[in-house]
Structure 1
Amino acid sequence: MTFARSFYVAASAAALLSSSPTMGQCDRWQQWIQVALTVDLDVQTHRFTGTESLRYTNNSPDTIQELWFHLYFNAFRPGSEMDVRSRTISDPDPRVGSRIAALAPEEQGELRVGSMTQAGKAVRLEHLGTVLRARLASAIPPGSTGEVELLFSGQVPVQVRRSGRNNVEGVAYSMAQWYPKVAAYDARGWHAEPYVGREFYGEWGNYNLEISLDSSYTVAATGVLQNPEEVGHGYAPEQARVRGGDGRTQWHFRADSVHDVAWVADQEFAQITAQVPNGPLLRFFFQDTPELRAEWEQLPAHMVRSFQFMSEQFGRYPWSEYTIAQGGDGGMEYPMLTLITGKRKLGSLVGVSVHESVHSWYYGVLASDEGHFPWMDEGFTEYAGSKVMQHLFGGTAIRTPAHMKVIAR
């Protein structure tokens, strides 16, 4: 099947599905949020405190009486639903298994909202494992906006799945799904399912993120850094490192029109950049060893071509920056950012970077419900990613001899 025809078939299938009676989009609406987050991380204890200001615009036809939040870090505690499921299902994720059950108290995850207020009035909270129910002091009618203020605290777990500290390659902090994240609300209601290790779904919004931690750490995050001259660390070319007056640095990132924020931090990160013509600035963060540098320095040229191809064939990448950073486990996409394990040969490094960056279109731009409709992000990402790899290395499919030859390097 030719590229044009195969793309037409895939697009037609999506259009037919979205226009079916059960999935009609005639009365489509979606909520909108504005989030200001601050977090202060103690790298000695791996504990953090934070604040969250959430402005919630209700574009639904329903009156919102309560808000639901995800508290994902609570999954990494013995006895959690994720722990029990991982130990009892017939086909457990080998990356999890019984690892959560074996975590010592100082290794476990924790996320708790200490208080929430709305216009100065206390909001009643109910912690339910990995979700939080907040009964609002004042309802938010259709077409109106409400604002709540949160104080939260937690502990970064030893990395088990996706997020956490000290991953298998020694990256210090992979901070994904780390804050009280308001659950998505759509025509099917609230999506506040307990977290058992699956993927995600969030509301569109603008985020301001301020991170404070020891100045020896380099941070990469969703969004665009607002204070590069203050922090240095490769963001301001003439300043490799800048230390705060108390040995701490505050990083300020802003991300507009995204549905999540994540970040990663390590003391050994090097940063290199590449500009996509008429496209985003690409940033790459990796632990600066001779072995990794030899592979990672070849990655930008491939990713520039990948972004050019995707923008030409599947639509323009809409943000000004994109970051690929070493961290997490395997590879996982977040808005404007992906975390990947980085100790790879070039072919594998390109392959995982292409796949995760293509998720910026199929998840990042679409903001699809990855939990209920995984085909919408993984299916289209596999299809588009195979076309990118074909463009980069030749052949007719992702597993071409040319591609496999590169991976084997």
Structure 2
Amino acid sequence: MIKLIKSALFCLCVVSINSVFAKSSISDDKFRQLEENLPTPNAYRTASGAPGHQYWQQKVNYKINIEIDDKTQRLTGSENIEYINNSPDTLRYIWLQLDQNRLKRQSNTNKTSTAPNKKITFSGMRSIVEGDKFDGGYNITAVTDSHSNAMKYIINNTMMRIDLAKPLKSGDKVSFNVKWNYQLHEQKVLGGRSGYEYFEEDDNYLYEVAQWFPRAASYYDAMGWQNKQFLGNGEFALEFGDYDVKITVPADHIVASTGVLQNANKVLTKTQRDRLAKAKTAKKPVLIVTPDEALKNEKSRSNKTKTWHFTAKNVRDFAFASSRKFIWDAQGYKKGGTDTMAMSFYPNEGNPLWEKYSTEAIIHTMEQYNKYTFDYPYPVSISVNGPVGGMEYPMITFNGPRPTLDKKTGEKTYSRRTKYGLIGVIIHEVGHNYFPMIVNSDERQWTWMDEGLNTFLQFLAEQAWEENYPSRRGHANGMTTYMKSSNQVPIMTNSESILQFGNNAYGKPATALNILRETVMGRELFDFAFKEYAQRWKFKRPTPADFFRTMEDASAIDLDWFWRGWFYTTDHVDIALGDIHLYRPNSQNPDVEEAWERALDNENPTFISDLRNKGAWVRTAEKPELLDFYNEHDEFTATNADRNSYNSKHKKLKQWEKDLLVDKRNFYIIDFNNLGGLVMPIILDLTYADGEVEHVRIPAEIWRKNSKSVSKLFIREKEITAITLDPHWETADVNVNNNYWPARPIKSRFELYKRKKADMMRDYNVELKSADDNKEDDTNKKEKSN
């Protein structure tokens, strides 16, 4: 309850400071430093958040040959892995990731999956049934050294350990070979980050292939081997390296891939090569494969194959897509240090949406992300439309939204949600090329370091697409429902243990960073610090501590309270306005002060008994001689004794003391209560009697002595008539109803309706049935008792 209290105050400073200096226990100290939680700085990672002078990381190079059988949907491959040990450690074995083993019938993913709800969709039930039949995963056929000698290895679920014939010393490298095959799965049935889509209408397949080869797990100073099992959520911690990949597919397929095509003369027509050359300097996307040409390809069935040869340097992964259904458009983008080809691959089912927005969204993403991080360094950036809703790999992304086909009219239309869903997912997935494909965080451990940071930048890029873009995540009020729920864990939770993946790893960190930028740090300081982090750690592997420390180091702002509250706890923001007190200096002049006291008393209500007794008989009405001086003057009347005392004391005061006694400004003390536990800046709009509104921003450090309640003094010439806390909803306050003085009604509306006759009959029947059930229950109870 908020109330306005008027009172006289002389020792104003003592009263206003008392609550600020209330003691709190160490466990309640929201501003204690985070060093107790962060790893100790060392020669690899400094206290400033930058890489140390002895920072190191491994390098792994791959030469791979792969073939897809379009009749059986089976993938067969062989690879040569060159592992370079840049660590100071001697390694006796190397761990490889076998991500496809998640699809084995006896995988830990299947063993630890929980039962579905009783209400389930047909597609959900189909996934369960087909998943129980499907036994995927790698079939490793050979592991040999550079001399073709068999090497000892062991497979532990989604990880494979290769034992080295001799220890790999620091600075040395080793080369070995792996052969394998596995069955691709229908992505729309079994889900996952890759797979194929089957088009029944024209009997065609579209392949999006990722996590398809045994690849080295990461080994780094803060973790050692990152060989935590892949259960489905925690993605991939990988090393940078150079790739040389040959992909063999049906001759009528078009392939989109990580890297640069090396044999265009063999796999593309002259017309396609000419169009690509034109696209390099074009002002809008150029069709390399037109819709008509794609339709023609759909009907073809070549018995021959083509091998597409791609190379990629300094990437941490490799993915590709292949189909005879692909339309292909491209446009060059060159600015600053970026010189790349933005390209989109999509079937006719993707139009008219994809031809209008896909490549444009790729270029927009690079323009915006470059501003906040670094210039996009790779030669291509690709968006592919297929079964995967949204997934990222170096230089290539898989994105899902498509128009809807009206089977009656044959026309394709798309909703507002589908349009912005496509733009948003392309921005998000292309943005992942920055985080974590270049700023190479450990996704297996900390999903928020790539998803959260990227979702934040996605929000900035979306807002730059058009005014009032309908972003799903980023605005503070979008997180309030989640943040006040009990079904959450801290952001600093391992990827596989998160309860609400989207809210925890995407939405909450993105919201936190936007609040950090707009409310806590300000755009200028935040943007500089964030860009410093990106520049420091591009093509390196940062940890959470490196991010936290860099943001503070580059801004001179102590943010430990922010990281602790937002990332290490499940506290929420709920700051409420408490009492509002209006003070004035006591002038000590009896005539002035007694008049003020009288006016204050007149604001009080009249007692109910006094109201009802008004005009009733009283003794003094019949005997006026009982009245005296005190009946002629009220209790507030100043006496000569009061005046003499005032004049005597007033003469002894210095002039500045006399000036303080007659200060006519308004002294407001406003109480604030932290009900949610998460400390935040206090942001106010003060509305004055003349209609002027003053915006006030108070740093979060106001809570440093008492994180539960504080009071703040405001000295103003004008009268305050209204106060609004967090007026622009920028702090993720979960309850804005306690943010107003005077309080506002919570507005809603009644939804009126007419009850249908059928509904009335159904209710009547339900009542009858309930009555019969009750009779049966009573009868059963009697029988049991007998």
Mapped contact 1:78–1:100 kept (Cα < 8 A) = no
Mapped contact 1:108–1:158 kept (Cα < 8 A) = no
Give the direction of change, closer, same or farther, for the CA distance of 1:375–1:275 in structure 2 (3 Å limit): same
User: Match for 1:182 among 204, 216, 241?
Assistant: 216
Letter in 2 for 1:231: V
Mapped contact 1:224–1:321 kept (Cα < 8 A) = yes
Letter in 2 for 1:288: N
Q: How big is the shift at 1:168?
A: 9.3
Question: Which residue pairs with 1:163 in the alignment?
Answer: 194
Question: Which residue pairs with 1:322 in the alignment?
Answer: 381
* In 2, Cα distance between equivalents of 1:259 and 1:205: 6
Mapped contact 2:90–2:170 kept (Cα < 8 A) = yes
1:335 aligned onto 2:394: yes
Give the direction of change, closer, same or farther, for the CA distance of 1:275–1:153 in structure 2 (3 Å limit): same
Question: Which residue pairs with 1:220 in the alignment?
Answer: 256
Paired residue total: 379
Report Cα offsets for 1:161-212 as digits up to 9, x if no partner: 1112227998521211011111111122111222211211101001111111
| SS across alignment from 1:312 | helix
Question: Which residue pairs with 1:236 in the alignment?
Answer: 273
Report Cα offsets for 1:260-282 as digits up to 9, x if no partner: 10111122111011222323210
Letter in 2 for 1:223: G
Mapped contact 2:351–2:402 kept (Cα < 8 A) = no
1:259 aligned onto 2:316: yes
1:313 aligned onto 2:386: no
User: Match for 2:72 among 38, 45, 58?
Assistant: 45
Mapped contact 1:71–1:112 kept (Cα < 8 A) = no
Letter in 2 for 1:71: L
Q: How big is the shift at 1:306?
A: 2.6
1:21 aligned onto 2:41: yes
Question: Which residue pairs with 1:297 in the alignment?
Answer: 355
Question: Which residue pairs with 2:591 in the alignment?
Answer: none
Mapped contact 2:228–2:444 kept (Cα < 8 A) = no
* In 1, Cα distance between equivalents of 2:137 and 2:129: 14
Question: Which residue pairs with 1:131 in the alignment?
Answer: 159
* In 2, Cα distance between equivalents of 1:222 and 1:383: 25
Output aligned runs, 1:358-397, within 5 Å.
358-395=431-468
Letter in 2 for 1:142: S
Letter in 1 for 2:61: Q
Letter in 2 for 1:218: I
TM-score normalised by structure 2 residue count? 0.45
Mapped contact 2:258–2:395 kept (Cα < 8 A) = yes
Give the direction of change, closer, same or farther, for the CA distance of 1:276–1:396 in structure 2 (3 Å limit): same
TM-score normalised by structure 1 residue count? 0.84
* In 2, Cα distance between equivalents of 1:28 and 1:18: 18
* In 1, Cα distance between equivalents of 2:211 and 2:162: 19
Letter in 2 for 1:257: N
Letter in 2 for 1:336: M
Q: Which moved more, 1:178-187 or 1:149-158?
A: 149-158
Comparing both structures, which one devotes a greater share of its residues to helix?
2
| SS across alignment from 2:114 | helix
Mapped contact 2:104–2:136 kept (Cα < 8 A) = yes
* In 1, Cα distance between equivalents of 2:419 and 2:310: 30
* In 2, Cα distance between equivalents of 1:296 and 1:310: 22
Question: Which residue pairs with 1:87 in the alignment?
Answer: 114
Mapped contact 2:368–2:461 kept (Cα < 8 A) = yes
Report Cα offsets for 1:342-361 as digits up to 9, x if no partner: 31533221111001111111
1:197 aligned onto 2:235: no
Mapped contact 1:40–1:48 kept (Cα < 8 A) = yes
Q: How big is the shift at 1:129?
A: 2.3
* In 1, Cα distance between equivalents of 2:259 and 2:377: 12
Report Cα offsets for 1:281-306 as digits up to 9, x if no partner: 101010124xx221112112343233
Question: Which residue pairs with 2:749 in the alignment?
Answer: none
* In 2, Cα distance between equivalents of 1:305 and 1:127: 43
* In 2, Cα distance between equivalents of 1:325 and 1:18: 40
* In 1, Cα distance between equivalents of 2:86 and 2:198: 40
* In 1, Cα distance between equivalents of 2:140 and 2:199: 30
* In 1, Cα distance between equivalents of 2:198 and 2:445: 28
User: Match for 2:347 among 276, 281, 287?
Assistant: 287
- 5+ residue gaps, structure 2, are 1-36, 276-287, 404-417, 474-786
| SS across alignment from 2:440 | coil
State, as a whole percentage, how many aligned pairs show the same letter: 26
Give the direction of change, closer, same or farther, for the CA distance of 1:176–1:100 in structure 2 (3 Å limit): farther
Give the direction of change, closer, same or farther, for the CA distance of 1:97–1:146 in structure 2 (3 Å limit): farther
- 5+ residue gaps, structure 1, are 1-16, 401-409
| SS across alignment from 1:52 | strand
Q: Which moved more, 1:96-105 or 1:271-280?
A: 96-105
* In 2, Cα distance between equivalents of 1:303 and 1:294: 17
